[in-house]
Chains A and B, each alone.
Chain A
């Protein structure tokens, strides 16, 4: 038994941290979050070309490096730590996984190399205005047969949907419901009949879009109608990825709190010497460490692709969501008035914590899913 990262994995973390500290300081996050696109094209290219981040866990046969979810988790944790503004989660953690789970080897060969090279920005469009994260939320119907389908309807809350050149759309065959009939399609970002509207997001560091599709031509990924297993797995993997990303942010706000508590003096002593503050920090540490244990273990289960994955994915998503939000909220409280200002970064983490908690289903949703998955 060994529950630690290897030396190589720690080196990867160091390299990514150095890169992100240089490319994504707070000032840069603030600049990008005010833009509509929400990312820096040059940094996106460097991520692919200098560090190979987009290709990390993609198969070697399709331009990837063949690493696992453990390495991907490390990268996401570091990105979460600095609130990197880039379409990485959408492209790699959502769309690429969807393509790998749903697409044939040939289709993977068609799409993954572009992602690996940093040329393709991809998005996974599965949620709709109903805001549901399960199969029942997918109501968009696909018409057609063979290789030629058309899609009509609206996809909502699509992460980076406004900048993606390739969109993986989840729809259902007409006349089906529930987990039956779920299908994956590939749609070009500039397809005719597709209208993409950026949404004004509460968390400005992660962009979302509304996609209106009207007779849009779509190519099936895998066999239309039998996509539920692939979607469910994609969502579990994404939950694991997001848990790791949240851990990075949670650790960062803990550090901000502790650092501030050591230097801010009131009543003639550092506020960190007051138990009310000290005990908050202690609880945050306990939760952040526990969130790490859950997220790292979940990464391992995803890497092994073992039967534990669905349970630990929901476990990690539920726990990390609560832990991050709690830590981000306490961080504001510990900072007092300054923590409530636009100028201080506390609100950026607070908003990211909330958007991450909601994304892919909140803690309550995942606890119920977990209950079902362990037979309660």
Chain B
């Protein structure tokens, strides 16, 4: 056991710190690190900031150097994220492109696809969104019905996606479609890259409980994409889709612990100011939150150590279940610390419904135990694939309707 940086790690940390010190100034320094991947606060300034990050190759840190990355290993990625959080730098806008799509593209894409898409993700010229969920395919993702049919040199796509975060910002969507309706559910799926700016694609915002509308419905009516815009083999997209989910559950969140730690520190400050810390039960819960966020760090370090030895397996589910539950508890605690004040939102009656930061945590954290695999699904994965408990017996499904 050794919790200090190796000389290489220390040098890397130094480089990150120096760069952030030089660039995170003025307007950018004021945005602060708030907001998750699905939060549009200060969007334009955050985009501008991230273009600077991308220019200096801090976006795409882990990509191979031939694609403009720094080939950073996991330890370096964590160091970058630690320093980024410590500097209270702006929340990232390119989550879906950089953190989810790019690693999948690197693993499964053709050389041409990589050359086409990676540079524009890094330069923050193209945003991506994730077209997985449908009205009848949420946790049971393999039930997707969106169809794609090859017509000459083009795929023609029809169907509907839902809960598509930032679809209204995105130029591209990675969409899973059914390309062989006769094959078993997992077999006839393809992973397609679809341009959003075309007549066949309609994006309709869905207003969330937060009052804002970061996610959307996306309709495909004879939308099209080129024949070579399939990642991996045709009808073999399930595997690719799962790889993306693996990144989403695992490494993408490996380093948000520090941001959480910051949120808790702020909450403790608030509790001091309004004397909530005089109450024994609040003290208990704040201490419990502190214990939770520290253990999140220790768990992360253990996970990272085992990552150095091999790949992250279904254990990622433990991390996902852990952080989402912790954050939800923090949101609830924040409201109790604030007391009656927690019930007054920002602005005047009649204004747009607007929340302050702690209220946003309270609300947004309700989605974190749902997206990227709901907590119940994570528990199934842990039970079945980590502990080896038997699966639930399959219910004989009704014969599929042919469409």
Contact = CB atoms under 8 A, between A and B. Distances in A.
A binds B: yes
B390 A262 contact: yes
A304 to B, nearest CB: 9
A269 interface: yes
A368 to B, nearest CB: 6
Interface centre among B298, B305, B380, B393 (most CB of A within 10 A): B298
B298 A278 contact: no
Contacts of A285: 318, 382, 386-387
A163 interface: no
A25 B380 CA distance: 33
Interface string A349-373: 0000000000000001001101100
Given A1-B305, A370-B291, A281 B389 contact: yes
A273 B318 contact: no
Interface string A114-133: 00000000000000000000
A29 interface: no
Nearest to B1: A300
B382 A1 contact: no
A370 B295 CA distance: 14
Interface residues of A, number: 43
A275 interface: yes
A318 B295 CA distance: 12
Nearest to B318: A286
A4 B393 contact: no
| Secondary structure of the A contact surface, majority rule | helix
Given A3-B1, A70-B1, A279-B379, A367 B288 contact: yes
Chain B interface category by residue count: 35 or more
Contact of A371 (B283, B390, B393): B283
B321 A286 contact: yes
Contacts of A261: 389
Given A1-B301, A289-B318, A262 B388 contact: yes
A376 interface: yes
B271 interface: yes
B335 interface: no
**Residue from A270, A312, A374 with most neighbouring chain B CB atoms (10 Å):** A374
Contacts of A290: 295, 298-299, 322
Given A3-B1, A376-B271, A272 B290 contact: no
A367 B295 contact: no
A294 interface: yes
B392 interface: yes
A296 interface: yes
B29 interface: no
A34 to B, nearest CB: 34
Nearest to A374: B290
B268 to A, nearest CB: 6
Contacts of A70: 1
Nearest to A269: B393
B286 interface: yes
Contacts of B272: 376
Contact of A258 (B290, B295, B389, B391): B389
Contacts of B295: 290, 293-294, 315, 319
A3 B284 contact: no
A376 B268 contact: yes
A184 interface: no
B390 A273 contact: yes
B383 interface: yes
Nearest to A323: B295
A257 to B, nearest CB: 9
Nearest to A315: B291
A290 B296 CA distance: 8
Nearest to B299: A293
Contacts of B283: 367-368, 371, 376
Interface stretch (B2-10, B41-49, B129-137, B159-167): B2-10
Contact of A286 (B271, B382, B390): B382
A70 B2 CA distance: 12
Contacts of A283: 379
A157 interface: no
A293 B295 CA distance: 7
Given A3-B305, A262-B390, A376-B286, 4 more contacts: A4-B1, A282-B387, A285-B386, A374-B287
The 5 closest A-B pairs by CB, nearest first: A293-B298, A278-B383, A272-B389, A282-B382, A367-B287
Interface of A: 1-6, 70, 258, 261-262, 269-270, 272-275, 277-279, 281-283, 285-286, 289-290, 292-294, 296-297, 300, 312, 315, 318-319, 364, 367-368, 370-371, 374, 376
